[in-house]
A and B are shown apart, each in its own frame.
Chain A
Amino acid sequence: MHPDIDKYAHLTSPIHRWDPRVKIAFMGISIFTIATLNQLPAIGISFAFCLSLVLISRLPLSFVTKRLLPVTIFLLPFFIIIPLTMPGETTVKVLAFSFNLDGLTIAARVYFKALSIVMLIIIMMGTAPFSDSLKAMERLKMPAMIVQMILFTYRYIFVFLLELRRMNTGMSSRNFVKKTNLHTVKTMGNFVGVLLVRSFEKAEKIYQAMLSRGYDGTLKTFFEYEIVARDYVKGSLVMLVCIILFVGDKLL
């Protein structure tokens, strides 16, 4: 389950060249603007806008669509559940079920809004190495403690994934098979316990190693970002689209 988020971080595109701080700030504004949209036409335009940003960013479409999968799995059932459970006038009777067509519009609204936002997140995170993006977030006044916890957690995930795999191999080599019974649940409980204890002990060693290399709770970097006029031009363009979408949505 390697996130591969850094896989295409080194391509060249106008978005890759965008200063990470400015990029994250304006992508954030767009995300929150799109989240407030209500009308299907505005949502459609935002979807087209995000799709064109994906094309500009030169991120491979397969990379993007793979990442749109979780949100699709979560939201596709809405197309069935909402029309079935929503009371309303425009219903069509299919066998014994009443199917409310307005529900389909609502589900489409939710789905395309979600797709647009997730595409923006992919562009925001996929066009720079994760560590650079985190640094930019710290510069944008995200609390330093949160940024560091995100960074450490990110680093440790891969260490513990290996640990998990090793332990899984150990269990299957002892012929353990998961079933729906108390024995399985007890084994999983102990498994999580072992994982916690081992990881915690490993973390103590890592922390001592960090201390001995001069860690004092702050994030240090060797380079500084530099913002040029072009960064702001890109920001203004994105901002303009956001304002049009927001105002258009409210006026419609």
Chain B
Amino acid sequence: MHISEGVLSPQVWIGGYVVAGVIVAATIKKLKPEDLPKISVITSVFFVASLIHVPLGPTSVHLLLIGLVGVVLGWAAFVSIFVGLTLQALLFQHGGITPLGANACMMGIPALCAYGIFSLRKNFNIKHSEAIFGTLAGAIAIFLAGISLALLLAMSGDEFLGVAKLALLAHVPIMIIEGAVTGFAAVFLQKVKPEILEGNALDASGY
């Protein structure tokens, strides 16, 4: 899901670049050289995972996994999405260079929110907390991304209001599927390799 070239008005894409630039700069400050390969690995897994299609009635949707990026990478999620989108714009002509900042905000900020939601689970001493909070993180991330998409389009001009409404509607089924996939993946990771959740792998010193 990305906004293509030519749609956003200059105010919106410049604003997108400013916000994205601030978040990327803040993240880079915290990064150590040994984090780069780890973030890249996870970025490319998500890149590849977005090729997985899940059938939905007569059609199928591909996974976005914005929420799972947040669940796995924690505070570094934004920069991962930024890098992924840059590659998609440069190599595959999905999205674009001018809307890159706006697209990164549209998907990256929800990913950070997903991280926040998922880390709330420690405050609740309940069974299946990974499943519940993972599902919430996955679904809410898509919800926020859908709203941001609609807002960015609407801000670019009244003529895009109709497109914005349709785009928002299209996100409802995706929300449900993403929530479920993220929930199951979070449970799996908690069981198999809990140390790669919530960006913990980045804080670990060396291997």
Contacts of A153 in B (CB 8 A): 40, 43-44, 47, 83-84, 87
Q: Does residue A56 face the partner (Cβ distance < 8 Å to B)?
A: no
Q: Mark A72-83, 1 if CB is under 8 A from B, else 0.
A: 001101100110
Nearest to B65 among chain A residues (CB) is A192
Do B37 and A70 have beta carbons less than 8 Å apart? no
Shortest distance between the CB of A146 and any CB in chain B (Å): 7
Task: Given A70-B93, A190-B184, verify A157-B162 contact (CB < 8 Å).
Answer: no
Which of B48-56, B120-128, B142-150 is the contact stretch?
B48-56
CB contact between A197 and one of B48, B55, B181, B193 (< 8 Å): that residue: B193
**How distant is the Cα of A1 from the Cα of B53 in the complex, in angstroms?**
14
Do B42 and A189 have beta carbons less than 8 Å apart? no
Q: Does residue A186 face the partner (Cβ distance < 8 Å to B)?
A: yes
Do B54 and A185 have beta carbons less than 8 Å apart? yes
Do A82 and B159 have beta carbons less than 8 Å apart? yes
CB contact between A35 and one of B6, B31, B187 (< 8 Å): that residue: B6
Main secondary structure of the interface of A (DSSP, over half): helix
Within 8 A of B (CB), among A156-193: 156-157, 159-161, 163-164, 178-180, 182, 184-186, 188-193
How many A residues are at the interface, by size bracket?
35 or more
**How distant is the Cα of A216 from the Cα of B32 in the complex, in angstroms?**
11
Task: Given A35-B13, A153-B47, A184-B54, verify A217-B36 contact (CB < 8 Å).
Answer: yes
Contacts of A15 in B (CB 8 A): none
How many B residues are at the interface, by size bracket?
35 or more
**Most chain-A Cβ atoms within 10 A of its Cβ — which of B5, B42, B79, B84?**
B5
Do B44 and A160 have beta carbons less than 8 Å apart? yes
Which of A206-214, A221-229, A230-238 is the contact stretch?
A206-214
Contacts of A216 in B (CB 8 A): 33
Q: Does residue B7 face the partner (Cβ distance < 8 Å to A)?
A: yes
List 12 A-B residue pairs with CB atoms under 8 Å apart, sorted by A's residue number: A31-B98, A113-B6, A145-B31, A150-B83, A150-B86, A151-B40, A152-B36, A153-B83, A190-B188, A192-B45, A203-B38, A207-B34
